[in-house]
């Protein structure tokens, strides 16, 4: 990692977590997830404060009484970080930080920080920086307050500090514009690669799902590749595409990408929108869910919400209940499958259910294929080769007028072949052939 992340300092952060939850049932789940996020970011959780309230406090997020308790908690545990399990508005963040005399960050910042640690490609890094700066802009003045408190305000006090704040706001806005321009440039390069990929008439499948559901493990299992698999959250950030051969002879392109999470920060969805949209532009979505997770259905719902935001909610989808090796209640698993259209239970770890998943993929592919009947001129054996490579050839006859081919191919290839559609009657066949020979 070249750049030190916001969270990681030389010492391990000692974090106190704070949450306000209306739904008592959700509390343990939200708590566990926040702890997992903190561990992923490399911090140690030294204490917890939970409050059940209908609505967070406008000024402090938690009530004033709880704020005093939190201040005492910070002193007792020598915490150097308070993490709030929600998105704080700039005023709440400032007030709380002043009251507890400790750095306060929210769940959004924590997730942005993890993304910053994870980003590998130039595009990934640019997108994370953009999300971070967009988040920071309305909160810049908080940083100054923090700085004044820590540094005794020397050099940033009063009017001078204000002027500096304005200058810095301008600088941040300029940097945001610059980042957007750079992202647009990187994107146009990727667009070219994508057009090239689209020219290959392989059907495309995208793995989507909650973070840590096992998407990369499934990519590895199906393609024999070695994408990064990690128990920590958001192991994968940048999309990876692999070719997968199905037992019935078809090949598909399978793309693995960033996982989703409940309340995925809007800044991140916005910054990653292009990457995500490209991914979900696939012909079929493979929605991977962790069947062993106690809140599997809640996680699936969160995934559907993000997909809806990306206008991909209506795509053909196979739901994959993964990690079935960890599920002891097989009856409950069967119920999940029965309740979810086009779903299958697998274990990427043991391979259980993988043949059935392959069958589901093959069946979904059938919906994308069309049967063509063409008469190819002898000069276009390249098209016959493409039918063999990317489709299934059912009949080939070398005749006087050309090569008669019946094949099942993707719609894309069928589009290319339609110029050669085989006419039924001989005189028309001659006309067609003549046209074919003159077409470019
Ligand atoms: N027991 C069991 N563990 C699994 C299975 N599939 C994945 N895992 C584990 O779950 C963890 C997350 O797996 P990944 O494949 O990295 O999950 P992912 O969905 O790609 O996660 P992100 O990239 O972080 O969004 C790893 O520790 C895997 O070893 C499975 O079928 N059974
Ligand atoms: Mg992954």
Task: Read off the pLDDT band of 163 (50, 70, 90).
Answer: low
With a 6 Å cutoff on the Cβ, whether 322 touches ligand 1 is yes
Closest CA to 15 of 153, 122, 107: 107
- d(CA 11, ligand 2 centre) in Å: 28
Mutate to test the pocket of ligand 1, among 222, 230, 303, 320 (most ligand atoms within 8 A of CB): 230
Phi, psi of 135 (to 5 degrees): -70, -40
- The percent helix, strand, coil of the chain (3-state, each to 5) is 50, 20, 30
* Residue that has been written with the tokens 């106190």 in this structure: 16
With a 6 Å cutoff on the Cβ, whether 220 touches ligand 1 is no
Residue with CA nearest ligand 1 atom 26: 231
**Distance between CA 37 and CA 210 in Å, rounded?**
13
User: What average pLDDT does the structure give for the chain?
Assistant: 84
- Mean pLDDT across the stretch 3-13? 56
* pLDDT tens per residue across span 50-64: 888 888 888 999 988
Ligand 1 atom closest to the CA of 219, numbered from 1: 15
* pLDDT tens per residue across span 108-151: 999 998 888 888 888 888 988 999 999 988 888 777 666 555 54
Following CA atoms 24, 30, 35, 39 in sequence, which dihedral angle do they give, to the nearest 10 degrees? 170
Is residue 159 predicted with pLDDT exceeding 50? Answer: no
CA neighbours closer than 13 Å in the CB half-sphere of residue 252: 27
Is residue 414 predicted with pLDDT exceeding 60? Answer: yes
- Mean pLDDT across the stretch 337-350? 97
Higher per-residue confidence, 329 vs 438: 329
Task: Read off the pLDDT band of 436 (50, 70, 90).
Answer: very low
Task: Read off the pLDDT band of 429 (50, 70, 90).
Answer: very low
* pLDDT tens per residue across span 174-195: 999 999 999 888 888 877 776 6
CB 119 within 8 A of CB 87: no
**Distance between CA 178 and CA 184 in Å, rounded?**
10
Q: Is 374 helix (H, G, I), strand (E, B) or coil?
A: strand
CB 6 within 8 A of CB 131: no
Is residue 430 predicted with pLDDT exceeding 60? Answer: no
Predicted pLDDT at 197: 60
Is residue 427 predicted with pLDDT exceeding 50? Answer: no
Is residue 209 predicted with pLDDT exceeding 90? Answer: yes
Predicted pLDDT at 6: 47
Is residue 154 predicted with pLDDT exceeding 60? Answer: no
Mutate to test the pocket of ligand 1, among 212, 240, 257, 264 (most ligand atoms within 8 A of CB): 212
pTM summary value:
0.81
CB 186 within 8 A of CB 129: no
86-to-10, 31, 61, 222 alpha-carbon distances in Å: 26, 11, 9, 37
Task: Read off the pLDDT band of 247 (50, 70, 90).
Answer: confident
- d(CA 195, ligand 2 centre) in Å: 25
Of 36-45, 186-195, 304-313, 414-423, minimum mean pLDDT range: 186-195
Q: What tokens does 415 get?
A: 């589009």
Q: Are strands 104-106 and 81-84 parallel, antiparallel or unpaired?
A: parallel
With a 6 Å cutoff on the Cβ, whether 440 touches ligand 1 is no
* pLDDT tens per residue across span 352-389: 999 999 999 999 988 888 889 999 999 999 999 988 88
Mutate to test the pocket of ligand 1, among 206, 237, 254, 348 (most ligand atoms within 8 A of CB): 348
Ligand 1 atom closest to the CA of 232, numbered from 1: 24
Q: Residue 199: enclosing H or E segment and its boundaries?
A: helix 158-199
- d(CA 368, ligand 2 centre) in Å: 27
CB 285 within 8 A of CB 270: no
**Distance between CA 14 and CA 89 in Å, rounded?**
23
- Determine the number of helices (DSSP H) and then strands (DSSP E) in the chain: 16, 13
Q: Are strands 284-290 and 392-398 parallel, antiparallel or unpaired?
A: unpaired
**Distance between CA 419 and CA 439 in Å, rounded?**
9
**Distance between CA 267 and CA 54 in Å, rounded?**
25
Length reported for the chain: 440
**Distance between CA 239 and CA 16 in Å, rounded?**
34
With a 6 Å cutoff on the Cβ, whether 326 touches ligand 1 is yes
Q: Sign of dihedral through CA atoms 185, 187, 191, 192?
A: positive
| Cβ neighbourhood burial of 192 (10 Å; 0-12, 13-18, 19+) | exposed
Predicted pLDDT at 153: 37
Ranges of H-type helices in 200-323: 215-223, 266-271, 273-280, 296-309
* Residue that has been written with the tokens 């990934």 in this structure: 124
Q: Is 292 helix (H, G, I), strand (E, B) or coil?
A: coil
With a 6 Å cutoff on the Cβ, whether 287 touches ligand 1 is no
Which ligand has the minimum distance to the alpha carbon of residue 209?
A: 1
Predicted pLDDT at 201: 67
Predicted pLDDT at 43: 92
**Distance between CA 418 and CA 374 in Å, rounded?**
8
342-to-212, 288, 331, 339, 360 alpha-carbon distances in Å: 22, 12, 18, 9, 8
Closest CA to 419 of 400, 399, 397, 434: 434
């Amino acid at each position: 990692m070249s750049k030190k992340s916001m969270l990681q300092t030389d010492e391990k952060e000692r974090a106190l977590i704070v949450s306000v939850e209306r739904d008592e049932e959700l509390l343990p789940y939200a708590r566990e997830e926040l702890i997992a996020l903190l561990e992923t970011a490399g911090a140690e959780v030294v204490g917890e404060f939970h409050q059940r309230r209908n609505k967070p406090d406008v000024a402090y997020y938690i009530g004033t009484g709880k704020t005093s308790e939190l201040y005492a908690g910070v002193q007792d545990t020598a915490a150097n970080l308070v993490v709030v399990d929600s998105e704080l508005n700039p005023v709440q963040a400032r007030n709380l930080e002043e009251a507890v005399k400790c750095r306060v960050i929210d769940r959004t910042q924590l997730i942005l920080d993890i993304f910053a640690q994870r980003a590998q490609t130039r595009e990934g890094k640019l997108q994370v920086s953009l999300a971070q700066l967009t988040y920071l802009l309305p909160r810049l003045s908080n940083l100054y307050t923090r700085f004044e408190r820590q540094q005794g305000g020397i050099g940033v006090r009063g009017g001078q500090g204000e002027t500096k704040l304005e200058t810095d706001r301008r600088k941040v806005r300029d940097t945001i514009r610059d980042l957007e321009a750079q992202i647009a440039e990187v994107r146009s390069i990727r667009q070219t690669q994508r057009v090239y990929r689209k020219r290959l008439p392989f059907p495309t499948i995208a793995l989507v799902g909650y973070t840590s559901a096992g998407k990369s493990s499934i990519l590895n299992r199906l393609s024999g590749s070695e994408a990064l698999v990690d128990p920590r959250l958001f192991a994968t950030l940048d999309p990876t595409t692999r070719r997968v051969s199905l037992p019935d002879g078809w090949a598909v392109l399978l793309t693995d990408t960033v996982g989703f999470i409940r309340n995925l920060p809007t800044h991140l969805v916005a910054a990653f929108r292009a990457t995500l949209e490209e991914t979900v532009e696939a012909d079929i979505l493979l929605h991977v869910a962790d069947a062993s997770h106690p809140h599997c259905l809640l996680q699936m719902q969160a995934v559907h919400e993000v997909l809806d935001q990306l206008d991909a909610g209506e795509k053909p989808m196979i739901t994959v209940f993964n990690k079935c090796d960890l599920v002891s209640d097989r009856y409950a698993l069967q119920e999940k499958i029965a309740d979810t259209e086009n779903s299958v239970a697998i274990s990427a770890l043991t391979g259980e259910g993988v043949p059935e998943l392959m069958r589901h993929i093959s069946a979904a592919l059938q919906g994308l294929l069309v049967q063509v009947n063409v008469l190819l001129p002898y000069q276009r054996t390249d098209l016959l080769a493409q039918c063999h490579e990317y489709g299934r050839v059912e009949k080939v006859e070398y005749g006087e007028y050309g090569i008669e081919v019946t094949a099942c191919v993707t719609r894309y290839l069928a589009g290319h072949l339609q110029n050669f559609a085989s006419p039924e009657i001989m005189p028309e066949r001659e006309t067609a052939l003549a046209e074919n020979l003159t077409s470019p």
